[in-house]
Amino acid sequence: MIVTFGDSVTWGQGLLDVHKFDRIVAGPEGLLLRPAHSGALLGAETDNSTQLVYPEIPVGYPSVWQQVLEFEPWTDVDWAIVNGGINDVSVTRIINPWVATDVITQLTQQYCGKVMGELLPVLAGKLMKPGAKVAVMGYFPIVSPLTKFDNERQPKMLLEMHGVPTTSSVTGASANAEQLIPAIVANSMAFWQTSTACLKDAVAKTNATLGREVCVFVESPLKEENALWAPQGQLWQLTWDLNAEDEVKSIRDAKCSDLYGDVVDAFPWIICDRASVGHPNVEGTARIAQSLKAAMGTGTI
């Protein structure tokens, strides 16, 4: 059996179940449980929130720590898939051109390095089946130096849907999106590169502590050319009219409306409605599934 913990990436944001990478690996009839959900924080061992909504809607809890500590039963688990850290760093910070790249790097080291390094031995210690292992999934660049926006509205919507204003409420002046893009790209690349190094290091240290190869790091096959609006983009993007383009948009829309239907919640509704943007699409997810299969080798699922 496979059990999948983590955030929107391991949940498979915007995808039908048949296209999620853990389902591809498990097969249509394979045993699979998926506590992962959109927006999940990596969190801390002391988290105790009981907040739970439809998993396509981004909320911080249950955190990845909670998902692991509350999961039962472990006796049948062959592979535990896990990721986490991006929501603790915050996508709002990562794509914010006014946040220094050093800040992104430091926060990424804290969560994808230190906190994940504390979680992995606990997760590995939960495994009861002989030969059971943990697959730690890597992230990918949201935007990259190869990103070429089709028009000025796209980067502004990307910023605004994550709470980054592009127009001054005092002067009414609008930011020049083209001038902001290099800083957005620098932060995105810093998170991707630092998270990859830190997660890989957390896996190595956990295995060294346990004295055996329990954890494997699965580096994302999605690179600079696969980022948003890149030449071979494999992430869900915004449509020409700035709407989400994923497979479950209509289902998520209805859930978002139920939760944020009041006009005072217009901003979280916008985030919720477009929550798939920047996540692997069907093609990108199929590539991730292949990388996961390769990392699993001949391990029994």
Q: Are 146 and 224 in contact (CB under 8 A)?
A: yes
- SS3 category, 167: strand
Residue 32 lies in a domain: yes
Residue 183 lies in a domain: yes
Its pTM stands at 0.93
Residue 52 lies in a domain: yes
Residue 41 lies in a domain: yes
Domain range holding 50? Answer: 2-296
Residues with pLDDT less than 50, the chain? 170-171, 298-301
Write the pLDDT tens digit of every residue in 66-119.
999 999 999 999 999 999 999 999 999 999 999 999 999 999 999 999 999 999
Provide the number of structural domains found in the chain: 1
Residue 301 lies in a domain: no
Q: Which CATH number characterizes residue 275's domain?
A: 3.40.50.1110
For the stretch 246-284, what's the b/e string if a residue is b when 16 or more beta carbons lie within 10 angstroms of its beta carbon? bbbbeebbebbeebbeeeeeeebbbbbbbbbbbbbbbeb
Residue 274 lies in a domain: yes
Q: Could you tell me which residues are beta bridge partners of residue 218?
A: 137
